[in-house]
Every structure is written in structure tokens, then in C-alpha cells.
Chains A and B, each alone.
Chain A
């Protein structure tokens, strides 16, 4: 077994661990329920955890993430039994439908998440600080792929960890979409008629859980993806050797892993049927799964908040010499704008979810109208984050589009300052638009018109971006390797998403469109155009920087040409049936409505997108080992990270650089963006150093 490849060993252990975990879960279930039920949900949950632990254990041994997951399982059990014991002493019912009672699950999960962090080693240095011990700032990671499975303080490693985790979550969320998309292929219920005893849910509940989890898993995936891009790129773009707080950076990443585990565990604990929004009063009556959902989102939110904090400090304090505000790369501006939102607004979704959790646990009556509570309050708190959140998702992507256009058209970026300011503009206006989700919710009617106008105002800074992109493309020497294809695809798809927005923002039309597939189509357009396409572009573009190899162009183009037309079919079809009266979030529809055919086409398009992403994943992992070597400045970029060889050296730039010109002056003779200290005259650099020391 020692001679096996780690991946195969991991998969073998996965099988064994899954079976062992399943047996363990069944045993626990039988302990309380008394009847050995061979498809019990607890068995499923433990099978999942056991499989994950064993997989990582086979892959990298008992360290890093393996240890974290073991700690999480133990911590959850300890916390759960603690509360169960206290409840027994207080004379309350000790065990619930899923072994533990609901408070025991919540507290246990919280302890489990913290135990994960302790187990993985993300807290070690902080405990040392608390005891007054010094820690080394110099990070040394183990050689090879093992370093990606444990705590590393290197922003490049963390960026890749984020990105890979994001892709895994994206895959799971996509798989869920495939399952319910299959059910929707024609009217009537097909395979969701059975009861899924492994999840303790009937077919319709299972549909609701998958649909809700699809939403939140994709959101978490996007948050991880943008964090991956920002972590990897921003320090390189501004010439810093790392983020401002490397330990906080590692913490922000690792806290997202137990959050993802909690989100998935909701599937086994009865699921939940509220959609990703979790509105009370429905969410106060859902099964215990919704508590796992709330807790998972809450913890993932902290990942987002602390990552944003770190990024803002990094940009403010650690830029290279000469990099004034308007000489920063445009992606950095986008990262700032997005971080301002995640730093502040995220707290309110956390608060709103906490309030529902407490209402369920302690009977606090925030959202219970019978006791003077107000369910609409939840929607205000929730959307105060969750609308700006979509700008969190798209701003980095739009930044990527602006960042990648100039090198592929060999022209300066049109209206640099306007683009920089438009990102901030979108972020700030984004704080004032949340109630447009609530036009039909029964909030005060006088709020409708102001929120309609503030929402329409978002079109202005977004329009600025489109003008700039068109202006940049105009008369450029356009080449279309894969990253550029995705940039262009992103622009077109986002345009479609943008144009379908104002009908939702306008009260008179929204009253008709609210909760239909029109909104679903619009939303997927903005997410694909604003995030998925640019994210793929960024992966194809910077993959050589991270690995020293490039991804296969043919497969990349296949990925693009399979995904883009399918995607247009998917969202335009969604909008069509939405206008014809298809409600969102439902498992079945009336054949009399006459869009069975469209639904079938949508399902086929969905499958094609899924296949194209599989092609991408194959390409990504295959190219890491077998890709064509690309160690130089592959895209003839002016950006500093491309002026040093790939893969990026462990401590970034050996020689600091100074910014001496405008970032995007492509095609202008003699213009220069950065100058490395080494390329200067020797005596000049010595003189510079003494000058620096004096000041």
C-alpha cells in the first residue's frame, strides 16, 4: 500500500472510512431509536465524515486537515453530550429525532468548528502570543502538494487553497442543481416520489433541501473563489511579500472548511425547505437542518469579514514604492470595493440568522407577530447584506475583466479612473438598494419608490464599466486565447444580466415578475457574467504563474464553446418560462402551462454546462503535471508578477520594484509601469538605500 499513489490510497481509504462511519452512525442511531434502521440519516452523516477523514488521511496522513476533521467530529460529540448531560440534569428531554436534541446539535457544532481550527493548527500561534511567547514570522512550508492540506502562512498557498475549495464546493452545488434540474425536465413528479430515508425526507422535502443548499453552496463557493483570487493576486500586484496579517489569513481560510461541512450536514439532519433566504416564520418551523445551515453561513461569514479586513489593511499599508492610488492595478480597486461591503454588511446576515437561531433555541419572539415581533424585520436585516453581497460576488470579476482586456487588445485601458471609481460607486450605492427584494413583502409602501430609484441608479456606474470595456476593445489588436474568450463571454453575459435587471427594479413590473423564473434567469446571468466567466478567465490566465505550466488551449476552447451557448439557452429559457408563469423554487408545474418542452431543453443545457465544467476540471488537474511549460511572460503583460519567472518564487519578489508609470499603457512606445531595483545602476541603488535609511 505504501507504493500506491496518494490519490488512489486516499480513494481506497475513502471507501473503507465511509463504511466504518456508516456503521458507527447506525450504531448511534440504534442506541437511541432502538430499531436498527439501515438507511438512517445519522449513518449517512457519519459515512460522509468518515469518508472525508479517511480520504485526507490516505492522501496526506494524520496532519492538517485530517486532524482538523477528526477534532471537529470529536468536538461535536463532546459539545453535544455536554448539553445533553445538562439537559438531563435539568429534567429536559435529552435526545431528539437525530440522536441529539436541537440545542445539543447547535452547541456541539459550534464546539466542533472551533475544535477543527485547533486541530488544523490555525490557532497555535495565537495561543503562544496569549502566553507571551514569540513566534517566527518566517514561514517554511513542506515541499510538494502536502503544504496545501495544512496551515500555511503564505498568501499564494492560501489563495490556491481557497480556489480549490471553491471548485470543490462549486462541484457539489452543481451536482445538486443537476439532480433537481432532472426532476424539472418534465411536469409531474418523476423520481422525487419516493421517500429518501437516508435523509429522513420525502421527495418534495428533498427537492427543497437540494434547491436551498444549491443556492447557499454556490454563494459560499463564490465567496471562496473571490477570496482565492484576491489572496493570490493582490499582494503580487501591489508588490507586497505577503498579506498584512498572515495568521489571520490562514484562519480566514480554515474557518470556511468546517462551515462547508456544517452546510452539508444540514442535508442529513432533516434538511430545510426555506430556500437560501431562510425567511421566518417558515425557518422557525423547519427541521434541525436549518440550524446547521444558519451556523454554517454564520461561520463562513466570518471568513469573509476577516479576509476583507486583511485585504484592506494590506492594500493601504503595503503597496510598492510609487504605487499611488491611481496607479494601482484595477483589480485592486475592485478588491477594495468588494472588501468594504464584506467587512461591514456581512455582520447583518449573521445577526439576522442568529436571531432566528435564538428564536428557535430560547423562544425569543423577534419574528413572531403574535408576540409583537415582525417577520419583515428579518428581511430588512437579511437583505441589507444579501443584496450588497451580489456586488461582493461580481466586483472582483468585473475587475478581472478590466484587468485582462488591455493585454489582449494591446491598448491602454479606456477611462482608468472612471472604472476605479465605478467599483466604489457600485459598492456604495449597493448599500441603499436592499428593499427592492421586498416590494411584495408587505413592507411600508412609501419605501417602494425610493428603493426603485436607488436600484436603477446602480446602472450608472455599471454602465461606466461597459463604456470603458467597449472603448478598450475599439480598434484594438484583439487576440483570443482562452482567458480572453472568457473575458468576452463574461462581458456579453453580464450585459444580458444587466439589461434584465431594471424590469425587476421597477415596482410596476416587479410585482408581476417577483418569484418567477425570470428572476432566476436574470440572477444566473449576473452571477455567470460577473463571476463565473471572469473566474475561469483568471484561472486560465494566472494558472502558469502558479504552476509554471499552461492549461491546454484546445480543452479550454472546448470548455468555452460548450458552456457559453448552453448557458444562453439555459437563462433565456428560464426567462421565457418565467414570463409565462413558472414560479421559482417549486418541484412541479402544471403541464397546461405549456412549457414542458422548454424545461427539457433547459435540463439538457444544464447538463452540457456541467460537462463543460468537468472538462475544465480535468484540464486543470491534468495540466498541473502534464501542461506545456510556460515560465516566461506568457501574455506579454506589463504587470510586475509576469516580469519574474513562473512559478512565483516562495517569497515573491527578490528585488523590490518601484512604480514609474501608468499600469495599462499597452502599445505606447517607451512607457514603463514598474522598475525592479536590480535593473537600476548599482551605485544608484546603494544611494537609494542610504537615502531610505535616513528618512
Chain B
């Protein structure tokens, strides 16, 4: 990424976003038209792969040794490894929830509002695009672009939270998917709740970074906190890439 210029970084970000959007739409129509669970799984894996590589820059873990052990670049390398290990650990929580979902519900799914599901998914996806804009702006020294990007991301993140916790939870309860009802309700609230908790912490993280960015604490060379919040935000998006089909698309409708 270091060798690309700003315009090509924007192009890349837009291209990946279009790929992700098309795949999400495809996912939705596959689920409606043909009930092909393996195809949905493949699409989710491709989407996750795109985000991991192009938005989260997983290849940076393999970067050459950066200067001596006391340098900022070397410490950032250690921080990066630490963050990825944390995400790996966190991924086990979400994997455990997915396993629980299939153990309890098998290939059935709760009755949820499809339009709202697609809308919140789109909101999170668009937020990922702007998060990527914010980070690449900072990497090219564009403070203003960074501030705009991160502000839009925070807004969309709050929008997602309101959509899931404020609207979807009410609608689901009205449809009979209640927390104290059957296991389907239990796992629905647990999965969306755990994910929403991570979105909430991500928003808080972004607010902290935004505030420090406002003070001008980050530079083109030194902006580890920006990178960390970006990677965390995209990770939360990757989780939703799997949770969305698992809750909304896969399996036969019951209840």
C-alpha cells in the first residue's frame, strides 16, 4: 500500500466496495430463489477474504523487520500482531455462537424482517467503505479526508446500532421472537447482542480516535491508533458477514 498513490487507493477502495455490495445482493437473491446453503457459505467466505485482505491489510503482519527494536515502526509491528491475536481470540466467541446457532436451530431460522436485515447490513458495509477512506486518507497525510471519513463511519455505526437494538429487537419481539421464548429467540438476541456490543465498543474507540485526530495527534508516519480502530471496525463487519446469512438467510422459516 505504501507505494500506491492516493487516487489508486481510492479506486481500490471503491472496487472492493462494489464487489462486496454485489456479493451481498447476490447472497440475498440466492437465499430467496434457491436454498443453497453451501453457496451462501462460499459467498460469505469470499466477502470475508476481501475485507481481510483489502480493508484490514492482513498481509502487513508479514512485513519486513522495521528498523531497530525501539523504533515506532517496530513497536507498531508488535502492536499489529497483538491486535490480530486479540481478534483471533474474539473470533472464537463468534464461532462458538455460530456453532450454538446451528446446534439449536439446525437449518431453520427465526421470523425476522428481511428488509430491515438488508438495510442494516448495507449500513455496516458502507461504514466499512468510509472507514477505509479514513485510513487511506491518513496514510497519505490527508487530515481532512480522515476526519470526514471517520465521522461518517461513526454516524453509520450508530445508525446500525439503532437499527438492530432499537428497531429490529422491537420488531422481532412483535413477531413472537422473544428473549424469554424459545431457543431461537435466545440465540437471536445473544448473537445480535454480542455483535452490537462489539459495534458499541468500536464506536467508542472511533470517538476516541476522532477526538485525538481533532487535536492533530496523528501523522502520516505515526497513526497506529487509527490503524487499530480501522482493523477492529472491519473485524466487526466480518463477523456480521457471517451472522447476517446465519440469522436471516439460511434455512427454512419457522414460527
**What residue of chain B has the Cβ atom nearest to residue A378's Cβ?**
B100
Would you call A364 an interface residue if the criterion is a C-beta within 8 Å of the partner chain's C-beta atoms?
Answer: yes
Measured CA separation A368–B225 after assembly (Å): 43
Q: Contact between B183 and A363 (Cβ–Cβ < 8 Å)?
A: no
User: What's the nearest-Cβ distance from chain B to residue A460, in Å?
Assistant: 26
Q: Is the CB of A365 within 8 A of B183?
A: yes
Chain B 63-107 interface 0/1 with A at a Cβ cutoff of 8 Å (1 = within): 000001100001001100110011011101100110110011000
Which one of A305, A317, A368, A381 contacts B78 once the chains associate, using CB atoms below 8 Å? A317
Is A313's CB under 8 angstroms from B183's CB? no
CB pair B93–A350 under 8 Å, yes or no, is: yes
Q: Complex: how many Å from CA A308 to CA B99?
A: 24
A142 at the interface (CB under 8 A from B): no
Tell which of B74, B88, B190, B215 touches A355, judged by Cβ atoms closer than 8 Å.
B190
Is chain A's binding surface mostly helix, strand, loop or mixed? helix
Interface-located stretch among A208-216, A339-347, A505-513: A339-347
Beyond A309-B82, A343-B88, A344-B88, is A374–B180 a contact (Cβ under 8 Å)?
Answer: no
Q: A348-B96, A372-B184 are in contact. Are A244 and B82 (CB under 8 A)?
A: yes
Query: CA of A693 to CA of B71 in the docked complex: distance in angstroms?
Result: 12
**B186 and A347 form a contact (CB under 8 A):** no
- Total interface residues on A, CB under 8 Å, equals 42
- The interface residues of chain B lying within 8 Å CB-to-CB of A380 are 99, 103
Contact between chains at B81 and A313 (CB < 8 Å): yes
- Cβ-closest chain A residue relative to B204: A130
Within 8 Å by CB of A310, from B82, B97, B185, lies B82
Q: Cβ of B10: which chain A residues have Cβ within 8 Å of it?
A: none
By the criterion CB–CB under 8 Å, are A373 and B78 in contact? Answer: no
Q: A132-B217, A309-B82 are in contact. Are A318 and B92 (CB under 8 A)?
A: no
B92 pairs with A347, CB closer than 8 A: yes
- CB proximity of B247 to chain A, nearest CB, Å: 15
Is the pair A366, B77 in contact by a Cβ cutoff of 8 Å? no
A244 adjacent to B212 (CB under 8 Å): no
A355 to B99, CA, bound (A): 13
B89 and A366 within 8 A (CB): no
* A104-134 interface (Cβ within 8 A of B): 129-130, 132
Asked if A377 is an interface residue, CB under 8 A from chain B, the answer is yes
A-B contact pairs, 12 of them (CB 8 A): A132-B212, A245-B82, A305-B89, A309-B82, A318-B78, A344-B89, A348-B96, A365-B181, A366-B100, A372-B104, A372-B183, A374-B104
* Bound: A310/B89 CA distance, A: 12
In the assembled complex, B118 has its CB within 8 A of some CB on chain A: no
- CB neighbours (8 Å) of A317 from chain B are 74, 77-78, 81
Q: Is B35 an interface residue (CB 8 A)?
A: no
Interface residue A312 (Cβ < 8 Å from any Cβ of B):
yes
A130-B208, A692-B68 are known contacts. Are A347 and B104 too (CB-CB below 8 A)? no
Tell me whether B96 and A381 are in contact (CB under 8 A). yes
Most chain A CB within 10 A, of B69, B74, B99, B186, is at B186
Q: A364-B190, A373-B104 are in contact. Are A345 and B92 (CB under 8 A)?
A: yes
Whether B88 pairs with A377 at a CB distance below 8 angstroms is no
A351 within 8 A of B: yes
Assess whether B85 is in contact with A312, with CB atoms less than 8 Å apart. yes
Q: Which residues of A contact B179 (CB under 8 A)?
A: 362-364
Q: Judging by beta carbons under 8 Å apart, are A365 and B68 in contact? A: no
Nearest-CB residue, chain A, relative to B92: A347
Q: Are A244 and B183 in contact (CB under 8 A)?
A: no
Residues of chain A within 8 A of B208, CB atoms compared: 130
Chain A contacts for B190, CB-based, 8 A: 355, 358, 364, 366
Question: Smallest CB–CB gap between B226 and chain A, Å?
Answer: 13
Query: Once bound together, how far apart are the Cα atoms of A244 and B86, in whole Å?
Result: 14
* Contact of A371 with B by CB under 8 A: yes
Report the bound CA distance from A350 to B89 in whole Å.
12
List residues 132-174 of chain B with CB under 8 A from any CB of chain A. Answer: none
Chain B residues closer than 8 Å to A316, beta-carbon distance: 81
